[in-house]
Structure 1
Amino acid sequence: MARSCVLLKYGELMLKGRNRGTFERYLREAVQHAVAGASAPVRISQRPGVVVLSGDLPREELVERAQRVLGVSVVQPVLRCGRSAEDTVDTVLRALAERFGSPAGTAPRRFAVRAHRRDKSFPMSSEQLAAHVGSRVVEEWGWPVDLGDPDVEITIEVDQREVFVGLDRQRGRGGLPVGASGRALVMLSGGYDSPVAAYRAMRRGLRCDFLHFTGAPLTGPSSTYKAYALTRQLDRFQGDSRLHVIPIGNAQRALATSGAGNLQVVAQRRLMVRTAEALATELGAQALVTGDSLGQVSSQTLANMATVEQASALPLLRPLVAWDKDEIIGEARRIGTAEISTLPDEDCCSLLAPPRVATRTTPAQFERVERRLDIDELVPKLLADVQVHVPGSD
Structure 2
Amino acid sequence: MELLLIKYASEIFLKGLNRGRFEKKLKENIKNVLKEEEYSFLIDQNRWFIQAEDVSRIREKVKKVFGVYEVCTVVQTERDIEKIKDLALSVMKNHPEGSSFKVITKRANKDFPMNSMEFSALVGAHILKNTTGYHVEIKNPDHAVEIEIRDMAYVYVSKEKGIGGMPYGINGSTMLMLSGGIDSPVAGFLMAKRGIEIHAAYYHSHPYTSERAKDKVKDLASILSEYTGKVILHVVPFTEIQMAIMDKCPENELTIIMRRFMMKCACALAEKYNVQSVTTGESIGQVASQTMEALVVSDDAGDRPVFRPLVAMDKGDIMEISRKIGTYETSILPYEDCCTIFVPKHPVTKPKLQYIKKHEEALDSEELVERAIEGTEVFVL
Normalised to the residue count of structure 1, the TM-score between the two structures is 0.92
Equivalent residues of 2:75, 2:157 under 8 A apart:
no
The residue that corresponds to 1:107 in the other structure is 97
Provide the C-alpha distance between the structure 2 equivalents of 1:266 and 1:259, rounded to a whole number of angstroms.
11
Provide the C-alpha distance between the structure 2 equivalents of 1:48 and 1:234, rounded to a whole number of angstroms.
33
Equivalent residues of 1:34, 1:68 under 8 A apart:
no
Give the alignment's Cα RMSD to 1 decimal. 1.5
The answer to whether 1:56 aligns with 2:53 is yes
Provide the C-alpha distance between the structure 2 equivalents of 1:25 and 1:310, rounded to a whole number of angstroms.
38
Letter paired with 1:311: A
Q: Secondary structure at the match of 2:42?
A: strand
Deviation at 1:91, TM superposition (A): 1.3
Residue pairs, 1:337-376, within 5 angstroms: 337-376=327-366
Equivalent residues of 2:45, 2:150 under 8 A apart:
no
Letter paired with 1:8: I
Deviation at 1:54, TM superposition (A): 1.5
Equivalent residues of 1:243, 1:388 under 8 A apart:
yes
The residue that corresponds to 2:89 in the other structure is 93
The residue that corresponds to 1:37 in the other structure is 36
Letter paired with 2:14: L
Residue pairs, 1:292-307, within 5 angstroms: 292-307=282-297
Deviation at 1:369, TM superposition (A): 2.4
Deviation at 1:46, TM superposition (A): 4.2
The residue that corresponds to 1:183 in the other structure is 173
The residue that corresponds to 1:211 in the other structure is 201
The residue that corresponds to 1:103 in the other structure is none
User: Which whole-Å deviations, capped at 9, do the CAs of 1:252-283 have from their partners, x for residues lacking one?
Assistant: 01011112321110110110011101101221
Provide the C-alpha distance between the structure 2 equivalents of 1:70 and 1:27, rounded to a whole number of angstroms.
8
Give the number of equivalent residue pairs. Answer: 379
Deviation at 1:366, TM superposition (A): 1.4
Change (3 A) 1:312 1:50: farther
Equivalent residues of 2:216, 2:330 under 8 A apart:
yes
Q: Percent identity?
A: 32
Select which of 308, 311, 316 maps to 2:301: 311
Instruction: Between 213-222 and 110-119, report the one with greater CA deviation.
Output: 213-222
Change (3 A) 1:94 1:214: same
The residue that corresponds to 1:24 in the other structure is 23
Equivalent residues of 2:249, 2:362 under 8 A apart:
no
Letter paired with 1:313: D
Equivalent residues of 2:293, 2:350 under 8 A apart:
yes
Change (3 A) 1:382 1:47: farther
Change (3 A) 1:304 1:74: same
The residue that corresponds to 1:156 in the other structure is 147
Instruction: Between 285-294 and 114-123, report the one with greater CA deviation.
Output: 114-123
Deviation at 1:34, TM superposition (A): 2.4
The residue that corresponds to 1:4 in the other structure is 2
Provide the C-alpha distance between the structure 2 equivalents of 1:232 and 1:46, rounded to a whole number of angstroms.
32
Provide the C-alpha distance between the structure 2 equivalents of 1:294 and 1:49, rounded to a whole number of angstroms.
44
Query: Where does the alignment leave 5 or more consecutive residues of structure 1 unmatched?
Result: 101-105
Letter paired with 1:45: L
Deviation at 1:373, TM superposition (A): 0.7
Equivalent residues of 1:5, 1:80 under 8 A apart:
yes
Residue pairs, 1:96-175, within 5 angstroms: 96-97=92-93, 99-100=94-95, 106-142=96-132, 143-160=134-151, 162-175=152-165
Q: Secondary structure at the match of 2:185?
A: helix
Provide the C-alpha distance between the structure 1 equivalents of 2:261 and 2:46, rounded to a whole number of angstroms.
46
Provide the C-alpha distance between the structure 2 equivalents of 1:354 and 1:123, rounded to a whole number of angstroms.
77
Q: Secondary structure at the match of 2:276?
A: coil
Provide the C-alpha distance between the structure 1 equivalents of 2:4 and 2:47, rounded to a whole number of angstroms.
10
The residue that corresponds to 2:66 in the other structure is 70
The residue that corresponds to 2:12 in the other structure is 13
Equivalent residues of 2:92, 2:145 under 8 A apart:
no
Residue pairs, 1:167-316, within 5 angstroms: 167-316=157-306
Letter paired with 1:378: L
Deviation at 1:48, TM superposition (A): 5.4
Equivalent residues of 1:218, 1:250 under 8 A apart:
no
Equivalent residues of 2:79, 2:149 under 8 A apart:
yes
The answer to whether 1:383 aligns with 2:364 is no
Deviation at 1:49, TM superposition (A): 5.3
Moved over 4 A (4+): 46-49
Deviation at 1:30, TM superposition (A): 1.6
Equivalent residues of 1:222, 1:346 under 8 A apart:
no
Q: Secondary structure at the match of 1:51?
A: strand
Deviation at 1:198, TM superposition (A): 0.6
Provide the C-alpha distance between the structure 2 equivalents of 1:261 and 1:177, rounded to a whole number of angstroms.
45
